[in-house]
Structure formats: C-alpha cells, structure tokens
Amino acid sequence: DVKVTQSSRYLVKRTGEKVFLECVQDMDHENMFWYRQDPGLGLRLIYFSYDVKMKEKGDIPEGYSVSREKKERFSLILESASTNQTSMYLCASRPRKGVLNTEAFFGQGTRLTVV
C-alpha cells in the first residue's frame, strides 16, 4: 500500500513562529502536493512539486514556502505563522509525472493551530 506520512497530527504554534510541516511518501512518486482544508472552502492547493528541487505555486501560496530536497520528502514552511493559517494541512502524492489520470494519495493531515 502507498503510504503518505505527515510528521504531526496536531500542532500548536505561536504567532510569528517559523513552522515546518513534513511529509514523506514511500512509493517513489514524482508529484507531491500541499493543500489546506477549511470548512466551506474545501481543499485549496498551496504548492506542488513534480520533481526534486522543483516547485510550483498553487492557488494560495502567500505566506508559505516549500522544500523538496529528496524525492520522498516535501516540506511546507510557514515563514511567520499567523492566526489565519490555523487550518488542516493535507499532503498528497501521485505517481508518474505527466500522466493526468492517476489518483492522488493523501496523508492523515496535520491540524495546525496558531495562537
């Protein structure tokens, strides 16, 4: 089975802190994604990466950055956390760069609270 693992299930951070959310997948997928999930808004794409050291902005990249130094790991960074970044964060991966019809596999989510 494909496994996508997010390092934390729950996090509480203070305003202004630098926050790292880590995601690891074990199936050699090229594509990895970070979404945030908010009630009534569904899932919104923050950033995605289609290869090591490659990244592209999603729909809501402001206030976030990412890092992909190894194929299996994709990190989401909140440079200076703010209360409006309190949310559920979901990591996903998908195989085969350039193939559009494969489904994505999701991690269990990290619920981040910024106080």
Partner 1 sequence: AQSVAQPEDQVNVAEGNPLTVKCTYSVSGNPYLFWYVQYPNRGLQFLLKYITGDNLVKGSYGFEAEFNKSQTSFHLKKPSALVSDSALYFCAVRDEVTGGGNKLTFGTGTQLKVEL
Q: Establish if 43 lies at the interface with partner 1 (CB under 8 A).
A: yes
Position among 31, 75, 85, 87 found at the interface with partner 1 (CB under 8 A): 31
Nearer to partner 1, 75 or 110 (CB): 110
Selected binder of partner 1 within 17, 26, 28, 56 (CB under 8 A): 56
- Do you know the residue count of the chain? 115
Binding flag, residue 11, partner 1 (CB under 8 A): no
The verdict on 76 binding partner 1 (CB under 8 A) reads no
Residue 41's identity, in one-letter code, is: L
SS3 content of the chain, % helix, strand, coil (to 5): 5, 50, 45
Burial class (CB in 10 A: 0-12, 13-18, 19+), 11: middle
For 115, counting Cβ atoms within 10 Å of its Cβ (0-12 exposed, 13-18 middle, 19+ buried), the class is: exposed
Q: Assess 52 for contact with partner 1 (CB under 8 A).
A: no
Binding site for partner 1 (CB under 8 A): 4, 6, 9, 31, 33, 35, 40-45, 48, 50, 56, 58, 90, 92, 94, 100-101, 103-109, 111
